Structure 1
Amino acid sequence: SSCADAIPSSPSSCADAIPSSPSSCADAINRQRLPTRSPLAVRGEERENLDSKVVVPLLLHIKEQNNQILSWIKKQSNTTVVHGTLPDDIPVKFPLCSIDSLTVLESYLMDDEHLAELAAYFSSLGGRDIGSKTNIILKNIFNNELAQLYSFYGSRGNKKAFNDLRVKTVIIRAVQLTTSNTTAEEISAHIKVWLKHAPQRLSNSLQPKKNCNQGI
């Protein structure tokens, strides 16, 4: 190899191409021999980098969505199906108005399947939050005459213990079916308040109602 290899074929550019020294001659030759990257290769790499910036976040998003869907499916599979009608074999009429009818219901609820079916029915009655759902269910199960005989733990004022009843479990399960992450303690707190005010509700219901012409 010689400096002649570095001299271009065009006469007009010979002066520019001829190196001024042997070392510069070698540099010129080496520069000519260095591999060059084609524009297509450069554009391909840029496209790959761009694709990775777009595709990776998209795949992560899809994975997160799949996880959410699987979680929802699992939750639904563990949830009792909500029915809008009472079981055909229910032995009492609601709201209950006597201890005798409550005793019959308690015997019926000794069957866990009956308990689950009744909870599913009462969960369909609606309500905007834990308190309203609990109150609606209680109102549909007990009239105030029967409810006033109970407090949550009993004993005070010779009242019976509501906490010992199987129907308490029905109420808690019914609320939990439509209110996620609700604890039994939260629901029980609303039951206590509802039972506490049963005598006042009964008293109010027995008072004669005024019509719009009274007092005129």
Structure 2
Amino acid sequence: MENDDVLLQKMPLSSQEQLIEFDTELKNDLTFSEICSSLSVVGGRDGFDTVRRLLSKLISHDLALNMNWSGRNQKLSLKEYENTLKMIVAVVRKNPVAREMTAVEVDGAIKVWLRSAPDRKGGRERRRKE
């Protein structure tokens, strides 16, 4: 349980090393279930909102800017972190309004969230001014 608290305190994850460590820790069934329970309070209006809120809590903005789904263009590939993806699906399905969301729909929401990372934190406005 205290190991889970340490993992939660490291959020949002801000480096590839932290993401690798987090994904490795999720291999432990007890850690996986504790993290899922802790993150299930994130909630959301629907499944896509839940995914967005969860990812914002889990992954820092700077790390999101250096990630995409497939790892193209020398970026980190989120799909390689299978335990993290399983955890995201499990947490999303704990939300009553997203209980029926499929893994493919969760993957799609993750892809959109990663693709739109440059627009967050004033990025779109900064580009508009240039």
Q: Which amino acid aligns with 2:35?
A: L
Q: Which amino acid aligns with 1:163?
A: K
Aligned match for 2:40, one of 108, 123, 145: 123
In 2, Cα distance between equivalents of 1:103 and 1:153? 16
1:196 match: 115
Q: Which amino acid aligns with 1:117?
A: E
**Stretches of 4+ aligned residues off by more than 6 angstroms:** none
Aligned match for 1:187, one of 85, 94, 106: 106
Larger relative contact order (Cα-Cα within 8 Å, sequence gap ≥ 6)? 2
Change (3 A) 1:96 1:197: same
Gaps of 5+ in 2: none
Aligned residues: 120
Change (3 A) 1:203 1:157: farther
Q: TM-score, normalised by structure 1?
A: 0.51
Q: TM-score, normalised by structure 2?
A: 0.81
In 2, Cα distance between equivalents of 1:174 and 1:153? 22
1:174 aligns with 2:87: no
1:137 match: 54
Aligned match for 1:157, one of 62, 70, 73: 73
TM-superposed deviation, 1:200: 2.5
- Aligned with 1:193: secondary structure? helix
Among the aligned pairs, what percent are the same residue? 27
RMSD, aligned α-carbons: 2.0
1:89 match: 3
Answer whether contact 2:118 2:124 (CA < 8 A) is retained: no
In 1, Cα distance between equivalents of 2:32 and 2:63? 21
1:102 aligns with 2:19: yes
In 2, Cα distance between equivalents of 1:144 and 1:106? 18
Q: Which amino acid aligns with 1:146?
A: L
Whichever of the two has the greater Rg, that structure is 1
Answer whether contact 1:152 1:192 (CA < 8 A) is retained: yes
